[in-house]
Structure 1
């Protein structure tokens, strides 16, 4: 399967390109970046051809699929162009900057008969998959509440452009830490709990980064359709290290996910029994190495087997809508119905 990667920044360099390269069913034939030197260096590394205009790549007939790894404001227009050109699309999160854009992306995929997958990788973390199974089995009884966080020191440590990154510019990013990190956790919670959220309240601040026009710290309060309530924190102000933990409080025990440096999941039962699991690591921006996110493999398999991607456009839109609701809640200082 011949693929192209549009955007050669850090997410492409650390996740998409190496994972495509490691997949025996894939050949990377083209890379695109408006920075010509970056595109050429990336192309040389993977034996591909470099481009600065993504539309040239979409005109290549034998390219079957593309990854869209651009600034957020370009996710929807490039994805729609790619789908209309007959390519399957894996789009980075957040999938769009509005519900209307997300709807148009989904419509383009349906009209073209092509796959649209959103790169929410937290669903594929072993501890998260195990937690979903335990909750779905009823082993812990009724779920009462949760708290989840995703924070690190900021995209300047991660982005290819450092403090000059598009992440800090509202006209390109649309949203800050909530779009970069919070949307990962809205997607994760929907996945683990197996239900949708119906209400959101939020406090959103821009206090940690100078010369930035987007939020860098946000706390959301969420309520699900069955009455599960909890908090979600997304931040670029965790200066001393990364936090990517989730705790679920239930009738018969507590699930602690990625909350311990050794055990990726700990189950504390009401009976006093404690079960500790070592299930493999979670992707982190702080560590030197990266584990396979399984996003690329899942995308490729969905195309090969002609099945719905595990994180479809519809799923991506549901997770995005919570973030859009949180923005409204912060602006209006009211609880927003989703």
Structure 2
């Protein structure tokens, strides 16, 4: 039995990590930790786990095999490194860090401790995305020319445990807004689906929708891959009409429509007009309350049990983070940034 602990008892822990650990028959939830004692004790009671307000004390006192780090972005690196150094495998929420240097330190800590580090990029585990990756790899749509991907909703105030006062809106805690919350998911997804790296980034990043925010809430990026494929990525906290988590891949032989339709999660539109539709179960959304499993926890536990590299190791998390960091630089300097 794998003994698990979660640091940070906000919405991502409550609705995803803890529920998915609980649903895995190979896992026992041992402890939870949050600086908000009431929040920690509440989740500790719900999941029959010890509650702590000091994560270092928890790491020292409890028998734990794996740790989920579900805290504000600026704490990801120090808490992950501490947990790794204490001899635990770590699943860290995205974005994995606030700089490439922090990401390197996390990766190095995992290597030194001989423990696994996984980053919670859950879009890789969506059935339509896995199917699209396979179709592209098999040459089903021919050469990929372009893409368009978006991830937007009304903002973290509808999801975060602290509402409009959430750390998501505070630059000193979040470091980055919609681009770190949503955009980094899509940079990771594009790298996964296309099977190649993003090498050039242009961006327009704004704070225009949230008066109480000191981080970005709207961004549009232009990306180019190593193979010359170009496309756009949009990340937004201003989509008041509902969540958009869709992607279109434009190929030589066909177009792939991903998560545009709640029923037909993948639609292949061939150049001759034929259409093939797949009902694959859909993507998890904030609007659904996070009840649909992401597959992240199960993949993490499987890697720990088998002692094999997880599907999204720290190195992969860093590459997806670097695209976001390049977007920030592109917006600030008003030029294209080459990775």
TM (norm. structure 2) is: 0.99
Contact 2:199-2:226 at 8 Å conserved across structures: yes
| CA displacement 1:41-94 (0-9 Å, x = unmatched) | 100001100000000111136211100000000000000000011110000000
Out of 174-183 and 279-288, give the one that drifted further. Answer: 279-288
SS in 1 for 2:128: helix
CA distance in 1, matches of 2:27, 2:50: 15
Contact 2:146-2:229 at 8 Å conserved across structures: yes
Match of 1:105 in 2: 106
Matched, 1:332 2:325: no
CA distance in 1, matches of 2:151, 2:274: 28
Per-residue deviation at 1:261?
2.6
Matched, 1:52 2:53: yes
Per-residue deviation at 1:289?
5.3
Structure 1 residue runs of 4+, over 6 Å off? none
Matched, 1:184 2:185: yes
SS in 2 for 1:212: coil
CA distance in 2, matches of 1:240, 1:85: 45
Match of 1:276 in 2: 277
CA distance in 2, matches of 1:46, 1:286: 23
Match of 2:151 in 1: 150
Matched, 1:213 2:220: no
Match of 2:119 in 1: 118
Q: CA RMSD in A?
A: 0.7
SS in 2 for 1:81: helix
Per-residue deviation at 1:189?
0.3
**Unpaired segments ≥5 residues, structure 2:** none
CA distance in 2, matches of 1:328, 1:336: 7
CA distance in 2, matches of 1:92, 1:221: 25
Per-residue deviation at 1:255?
0.2
Contact 1:281-1:291 at 8 Å conserved across structures: no
Match of 1:195 in 2: 196
CA distance in 2, matches of 1:58, 1:289: 28
CA distance in 1, matches of 2:114, 2:272: 51
Matched, 1:7 2:8: yes
Superposed counterparts of 1:276-295, under 5 Å: 276-288=277-289, 290-295=291-296
Superposed counterparts of 1:89-100, under 5 Å: 89-100=90-101
CA distance in 2, matches of 1:289, 1:73: 24
Matched, 1:159 2:160: yes
CA distance in 1, matches of 2:287, 2:46: 24
Report the count of equivalent residues: 338
Per-residue deviation at 1:287?
1.9
Match of 1:72 in 2: 73
| CA displacement 1:113-143 (0-9 Å, x = unmatched) | 0000000000000000000000000111100
SS in 2 for 1:59: helix
Match of 1:174 in 2: 175
Match of 1:265 in 2: 266
| CA displacement 1:284-317 (0-9 Å, x = unmatched) | 0112452110000000000000100000000000
SS in 1 for 2:61: coil
Per-residue deviation at 1:152?
0.1
